[in-house]
Structure 1
Amino acid sequence: MNADHLHAVLNDAVSRAGLTSDRPAAIRIGENAIFRLRPGVVARISRQGQLETARKEVAVARWLQKESVQAVRVLGEIQQPISVCGHAVTFWHELPPHENGSRVELAASLRSLHQLPVPREFELPLLAPFEGLAERIESAATFSDAERQWLRRHLDDLRAEYDRLPQGKPHSVLHGDAWPGNIVRSTGDGEILVIDLERFSVGPPEWDLLHTAISYATVGKLSHVEYAEFVDVYGLDVLDWSGYPTLRDIRELRLTLFAAQMAAENSQSTGQASHRLACLKGELGERPWKGWEAVP
């Protein structure tokens, strides 16, 4: 996002919110832009077209506070989000200095989250596990026509399998992107905070267990002891559920297409995208697959 454009959007939103900020400082400019307005207060500018998602994030933050869940907190006295030039601007209390939570802390947070009643004050959407995947396949220029055709068939097969998903735990509130970086620990008092609320939804709670299960069983990044600790704290081993392979395959497809999306922006990710696709196609043997690395 262009810096001059972002500052114009921010200045407009700050004025309309009745706030003041002499010299807003950019904390991060990426898919979303974060600016510090003053000590303890930040503004978040979304990509264009994300107004409904921002509305949901604000509603979820207020609901979590009401439910006494420690999470990132929205600035409560402002009617938000504020729409400027197609961007959704929201205002938040700045997080204290923090670090990623542990897998055990993630398990405890998910166990508590999944026990909350579904909110009545607003409607959380149903989990949409296939959102954006068809578009990512078509735009995956790093793959050949034959590879994209295979991906289309694979996506169709997974849609059909998801429609026949066997019964698991009752549907619950989901975080939607449950990895240790989204359950952070304050370095001051050790408080655990839930962050990144944009993918909250309602659906099978097993979805939130996928990141850890895949880290263990698909790519071998977790030891047996580490995974067993996560399972013991949460109280369920999702690997034992007959619906796990379907959710796992959907998640692996999402991870592969994310790498392809990044490869379109940074050629350094091309090899990782091709490696992941080869794994999905069964060309590199059985899981756990080695060589899955983070993409920029």
Structure 2
Amino acid sequence: MMWGDGETQGQAPEFTAETVGTVLREACRGAGLDPSGAVMLRLGSNAVFRLDASPVIVRIARDADALCEMGRAVRVARWLAAEGFPATRLLPGVPQPATVAGRAVTFWESAQDREEYASPSELAELLRRLHRLEEPGSLGLDCFDPFAKVWGSLGELRGLIEDDHLGFLEERADRLHQRYDRLDWVLPFGMIHGDANIGNALRDRKGRPLLIDLDGFALAQREWDLVLTALYYERLGWHTRAEYESFVHHYGFDLMNWPGYPVLADARELMMTLWLGQRVPTDPTSAEEFSRRVQTLRTNGSRRGWKPF
């Protein structure tokens, strides 16, 4: 479904608070929703708004070519709802995804009026339950290829960041890719969330945890859904030891005891850094954090100073 001025994919304007505000208003008009008083919750891979006039979340994709990905997220959401799995629900009665001014837009029921994150142990329970599901082929899930994403991101950073930074990151990616190809996986291959961390696990109005941000669902080794929690604890200090141990207890596997963990952690660090690099030209705070991360990767310094985004 296409609303608005009919711009084609790839012609979307720069992704800023001002431009996505324009997309929000047009998308809400097309869906019969009132955008007045909408609050922007975040501006990252997606711009996420909570509407004031109704309990609705609107997500606008940064990537102008994200329509296929958003279509997959819609299919995943409908399947999870049919399975009774605790996840974010699509807003009924609205054709989805919509295309507005070259951006893919989706509409979701708001879990509650304020963001309350689930605990690491609750996230672990959600992942354990998710990993037991057998996905239907109709979802059209891709196999997760982290280094296709890494090399794509590096290509997009040409001209956006210093050549010296880019060269270092390319060399690091090449070394990591070689180590990654030699990993001996231990968990089963199957469906993953793709960005599993407590930032994507909220509590609803009754206090029940649920998964959000379904864009990254894919087929991969299940280790990928455990690495962020381990990384947040072991390197970044964003989780306590007790929180991490609770996560391990409820999921039933400690990724940090697997010899391949450092490779996955290094890969995730690199992906987190490259994502910030895309925001360097438009966001001074992201540019400062990007430089900090590159410096610590160069020197193998402490990651405890990294800030969450």
- Following superposition, the deviation at residue 274 of structure 1 comes to 2.7
Q: Please state if 1:177 is matched with 2:195.
A: yes
Structure-1 residue corresponding to 2:38: 26
Aligned-partner residue type, residue 51 of structure 1: L
- 2-structure distance, mates of 1:6, 1:107: 34
Aligned-partner residue type, residue 39 of structure 1: S
- 1-structure distance, mates of 2:208, 2:197: 17
CA contact (8 A) 1:26 1:33 kept: no
- 2-structure distance, mates of 1:162, 1:54: 28
- Following superposition, the deviation at residue 116 of structure 1 comes to 1.0
CA contact (8 A) 1:124 1:202 kept: yes
SS in 1 for 2:99: strand
CA contact (8 A) 1:125 1:202 kept: yes
Which of these two proteins has the greater Rg computed from alpha carbons? 1
Structure-2 residue corresponding to 1:223: 240
| Number of equivalences | 283
SS in 2 for 1:265: coil
CA contact (8 A) 1:185 1:193 kept: yes
- Following superposition, the deviation at residue 110 of structure 1 comes to 1.0
- Following superposition, the deviation at residue 238 of structure 1 comes to 0.5
- Following superposition, the deviation at residue 105 of structure 1 comes to 0.8
Bigger drift between 71-80 and 122-131 goes to 71-80
Structure-2 residue corresponding to 1:17: none
| 2:167 equivalent among 136, 142, 149 | 149
Deviations 1:121-157 (A, max 9, x none): 221111132313322542452x4x3332121111122
Structure-1 residue corresponding to 2:306: 292
Distance 1:59 1:34, change over 3 A: same
CA contact (8 A) 1:35 1:44 kept: no
Unaligned 5+ runs, structure 1: 15-19
Alignment of structure 1 residues 229-248 onto 2, 5 Å: 229-248=246-265
- 1-structure distance, mates of 2:75, 2:299: 42
Unaligned 5+ runs, structure 2: 1-17
- TM-score, normalised to structure 2's length? 0.81
Q: What is the identity percentage for the equivalent residue pairs of Structure 1 and Structure 2?
A: 34
Deviations 1:233-264 (A, max 9, x none): 11001011122122111101112223333333
SS in 1 for 2:139: coil
Structure-2 residue corresponding to 1:36: 51
Q: Please state if 1:265 is matched with 2:282.
A: yes
Aligned-partner residue type, residue 114 of structure 1: H
Structure-2 residue corresponding to 1:134: 154
Structure-1 residue corresponding to 2:228: 211
Aligned-partner residue type, residue 281 of structure 1: R
Structure-1 residue corresponding to 2:81: 65
- 2-structure distance, mates of 1:40, 1:147: 43
Aligned-partner residue type, residue 192 of structure 2: L
- 2-structure distance, mates of 1:223, 1:216: 6
CA contact (8 A) 1:9 1:85 kept: no
- Following superposition, the deviation at residue 271 of structure 1 comes to 4.0
Please provide the CA RMSD for this pair. 2.5
Aligned-partner residue type, residue 101 of structure 2: C
Distance 1:182 1:203, change over 3 A: same
SS in 1 for 2:237: coil
Structure-1 residue corresponding to 2:112: 96
- 2-structure distance, mates of 1:21, 1:282: 50
